Structure 1
Amino acid sequence: MVKNFLCCLFLCACQFTLTAEAQVIEEIKTAGQIYAYAQIHGDYEILLDFTYPILIEKAGGRPAMKNILKQIQDTKINKGQKLTTLEFGDDIQFSSNATEIHAVVPITTVIKVPGGTITSESNLVAVGTENRGNWYFIETTSINEQNISKVLPTWDHSLELPYKKPPVFKEDHL
């Protein structure tokens, strides 16, 4: 009888853990859809809402960060580049510490460029704060295992940032 009860308790705990993990991944993907929309449509206010606060602070505040985002976007437009797709992958790895959840989130982006498209597979770091009430994203373009603590001081080093893959250019066929 006690053995059956313990088995049932164990199965319930496993189910709860799987449900909690699935919920975290779903939250990341939902926040990611909003982030992707903002990236594709150049909505700087939404992008700022999903930018890790320390990055905004290091940039000199919201107005300064908004100006940086706008400059990046203008440079891309002047080069004939347009982000057309930003998709979140399924293999999201995460861990939690006392105050945050950290996740490595695979993404695929497609950028229309003169003469073709560039497809890139990379990763974002997602950070859940305030009991997962807020989700923030950090681009991993210029961060690695050695310098991530400068951007995210509470980084859980049990997570590994995957190696960066080169982008793939596909020429337009006329």
Structure 2
Amino acid sequence: MDSLILIVVSTLIFMPYMIYQYCHKGNRENNNYVQLHQAEAGTTKSIFKRKNDLMQLKYVNVEGINMDKNLTYFIVKNQCMKLKGIADGDIIGVKMFDGNFSLSSTKGEILLIYLDDEYFKGFKIREQGDLTLDGMAYETFHYKNGKQTKSSKPHSIESIKGVVVEVHGREYVSSW
């Protein structure tokens, strides 16, 4: 009898969790969930002197988005590109640089940059500025409190990985 009571109590305790896990997994498979990297739109320096690592993939529901196989998709973190039409939780399509695609000299493009320094590891997006005098890097900008803010240092051409060509607005993203 004690064994039966133990089994019933265990079932009552663990069954809701098992049902939740089963349903959660099913939703990811059935509702077009994919794993995407995050692209930081805000500042990348930490006030706590610890490195912010955004290389972990996030599950994101892309239902209703026709994903182009020639683009790489990211989910945006933070609001510092909102004035450029890119907000927190938006999904962006990026044309990555390869042998057939190179960076134009047009100011105002939204660039995808890979950064791995003492404060940050991952992708970020910035507005393209002028080429530096030595021709090896671009000035870049983001928008802090509605004002254009210059990045602390220019980004080398090698660190620029692509250009944002699609923005899919999301009212609510369940991946956070």
Instruction: Calculate the TM-score normalised by the size of structure 2.
Output: 0.28
Normalized per residue, the structure richer in strand is 2
More relative contact order, 1 or 2 (CA 8 Å, 6+ apart): 2
Structure (1 or 2) with the larger CA radius of gyration:
2
* TM-score relative to the length of structure 1: 0.28
